[in-house]
């Protein structure tokens, strides 16, 4: 039943991974830009 859609499933997994990585990168860069005080060392 699902054997025909293996390629679609892997494409969806890859797209989700790329979108998640891009979102994390965007949030990380925004945090560096907005938070001007450094971490306490």
- The pLDDT confidence band at residue 38, using thresholds 50, 70 and 90, is low
Residues 6+ apart with CB under 8 A from 28: none
Once rounded to an integer, what is the mean pLDDT over residues 32-41?
72
Q: Report pLDDT digits (tens) over 2-19.
A: 677 888 999 999 999 999
Confidence (pLDDT) at 35? 84
pLDDT surpassing 60 at residue 34: yes
């Amino acid at each position: 039943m699902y054997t025909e859609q293996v390629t679609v499933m892997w494409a969806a997994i890859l797209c989700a991974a790329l979108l998640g990585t891009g979102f994390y990168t965007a949030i990380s860069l925004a945090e560096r830009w907005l938070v001007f005080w450094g971490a306490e060392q």
